[in-house]
Structure 1
Amino acid sequence: MDKILKTTDDMLDFLSTKNIKLGTYDDNKVSQFLTDNTYFFKLISYRKNFQFNNGQYYHLSFDTLVDLSNIDMRLRYMLVHFCLDIEHCIKTKLLNEITFKTEDDGYSFLAKYIASNNNPSKIKQKILTQIKRTNSKLYDKHHAQLPLWVVMECCEFGVLESILAFYLASNPNSALIKLNVNRIEAGDNNISLLSYVRNIRNKAAHNSVILNSITSKSGIILDITRANSLASELVIKAKISRQVRRKRLSISTIHDITTTLAIYDTFIESETMKKRRYKELQDFLKRAQREKELYVQNDEILSVYRYFNQITNYLIETL
């Protein structure tokens, strides 16, 4: 966007110049909406999903941008629940494995993890800082000798991800091994499939837009070899065609959401929790269709909807 848009008139002029229709809005309603609900640059980011030629967008209106922003808000709230459930589940399973199925305890394992890092003192200080910020009482009691459960309780998602990757590298028989990432792909980084969950969790928790990058026009395109086995297994079981799943999983945002759903379905054992979350997913997709006439000319968005609807139907049917 070359021109600096400072006033409502500038923003309305941008919409007009780019052929973005006002739809059911008029100038005053657009101004009021931007004042009360969101900021212009966030709202128009959804335009990237639509056809753009010769400096103009096609089949796009202000109504569509508003609808996508509302759908996106609901998506973020829903995905936070999925991610928090996964975080709790993986922490519990990891702690139980180390405690009951290995020769380590929470102290010796954590010491080995810290020592394995390129800069042990730096990673230890990072962990201590996160614990102190989260729970000062636990910090005061345990900072001299750290148990793993305190780290799990207090530290950020990225620390869990790194600890899990370290554990899986030397425990190939772990029940969590499906979260492992091919080491050639991972390179020298301690990552697991939780890295894709973290991508979604961070966007949702920080209230960042998600639906502005869900088509080949807008999203980051991945090398399809990055489509991990859990995500691939899920879409195959959902009977999504090879052509569709290759296209959808090559888009970073869709790949990460699909992986999150696959991890959820694989590792969450509570049928009650699954029913609740899958019902939320089903209700979200129903809401996404409420203004479906706004998208009839956008085959890619419709295809994304059908993709997740098919996955959701599979998840519900298999409960």
Structure 2
Amino acid sequence: MSKKDEKPKESYLELIASMKNRGIKFNITSEDAAESFMESNNYYFKLASYRKNFPKTNGKYINLDFAYLQDMAAIDASLRRFLSDITLAVEHGLKVKILDLITKNDAEDGYSIVQEFRTNKPKSYGRVLSYLNANRYSHDLYLKHHNEPAIWVFLEVAPFGDLSQFIEFYFNKYPNRALKRIVANMKFAKNIRNAAAHSNPILVNLFTPKEFLPHPTQTVISEANLMNIDASLLNDMKIHDLIALFYLNKLLTSNSARKHLYDHGMQVIERFNRHSEYYQTAAAINQFKEILGNIIDYQIST
């Protein structure tokens, strides 16, 4: 049986009927309001993913109203905006750090390292140049520099993934302790960056085998201890990757920038708490909120 036959397209009324069959209620949000919401604000596939945070018995969810899913979608959107700000700060900090190292490296002229990267990582190099060419706001840079871009031009437009590849390439050529810690955590931070940038739900599959990480990194284990996060929770992929991201943020950004991000993070925690009564049976959500609060507090700790 094909997927099309197994899960055919359904109308909004059919989707609502399917939710009701699973035990989802429409007491706080009416069925008409739910239909309007799915038409204009959020789509069923994303909304439905949040239902897995709630307990069920005999195949039906217990005390789950459609309004809870709406609220969780809003919380998740707020969380993703916050995490996007963090990843942008980390990306900027990474560029400042690598350019500082190259500026102080007498063996580099700022040009040859880009050509070496081109030889070693042609796909990554090509993506950056293609982006530079396609970006109308940076097209003048492409016209002036595409034949032999300087590192400061190249990194100006390098996306997070290609920036990470360049930093790892540079570290392999010039190993040092500071870059070793950064390289060890970049790929985990990138997971959060990609989820936030592509509007993928964060608050799904928390503390489940679907996102089990068998071997947390030593840096994350050490930082989690400073954050008062139990080591047993580090096998959750999202918790692990969040700690890696916030570790890099503390390592690479200024005190004033972190204070601003801390304030934003507290707004996210407040948004979690707006309808805390909805989540009395959602243990994973409450645990995630507590951990997130610890991670956010860590940003302004000494």
- TM (norm. structure 1) is 0.86
Q: State the SS of the aligned residue for 1:180.
A: helix
Q: In the aligned structure 2, how far is the partner of 1:104 from the partner of 1:8?
A: 61
C-alpha contact 2:117 2:125 (8 A) present in aligned 1 = no
Q: Tell me the equivalent position of 2:34.
A: 30
Counterpart among 150, 159, 162 of residue 162 in structure 2: 159
Q: Tell me the equivalent position of 2:134.
A: 133
Structure-to-structure mapping, 1:39-50, within 5 angstroms: 39-50=43-54
Aligned partner of 1:287: which letter? R
Q: State the SS of the aligned residue for 2:111.
A: helix
Q: In the aligned structure 1, how far is the partner of 2:177 from the partner of 2:149?
A: 24
User: 1:91/1:210 Cα in 2 relative to 1: closer, same or farther (>3 Å)?
Assistant: same
Q: Give the C-alpha shift of residue 258 in structure 1.
A: 2.1
Counterpart among 245, 266, 270 of residue 282 in structure 1: 266
Structure-to-structure mapping, 1:164-175, within 5 angstroms: 164-175=167-178
1:97 aligns with 2:101: yes
1:207 aligns with 2:199: yes
How many residues get paired? Answer: 296
Q: In the aligned structure 2, how far is the partner of 1:169 from the partner of 1:157?
A: 18
Aligned partner of 1:221: which letter? F
Q: In the aligned structure 1, how far is the partner of 2:288 from the partner of 2:255?
A: 27
User: 1:102/1:160 Cα in 2 relative to 1: closer, same or farther (>3 Å)?
Assistant: farther
Q: In the aligned structure 2, how far is the partner of 1:59 from the partner of 1:148?
A: 56
Q: In the aligned structure 2, how far is the partner of 1:69 from the partner of 1:57?
A: 18
Deviations 1:45-66 (A, max 9, x none): 1112233454323342212111
Q: Give the C-alpha shift of residue 234 in structure 1.
A: 2.1
Q: Tell me the equivalent position of 1:263.
A: 248
Q: In the aligned structure 2, how far is the partner of 1:260 from the partner of 1:123?
A: 22
Structure 1 unmatched runs, 5+: 182-192
Structure-to-structure mapping, 1:228-247, within 5 angstroms: 228-242=217-231, 246-247=232-233
Q: In the aligned structure 2, how far is the partner of 1:313 from the partner of 1:80?
A: 18
Deviations 1:244-270 (A, max 9, x none): xx23x22222222221111111221x2
Q: In the aligned structure 2, how far is the partner of 1:171 from the partner of 1:70?
A: 45
Q: Tell me the equivalent position of 1:220.
A: 211
Aligned partner of 1:251: which letter? D
User: 1:71/1:124 Cα in 2 relative to 1: closer, same or farther (>3 Å)?
Assistant: closer
- TM (norm. structure 2) is 0.90
Q: What is the RMSD of the two structures over their aligned residues, measured on CA atoms?
A: 2.0
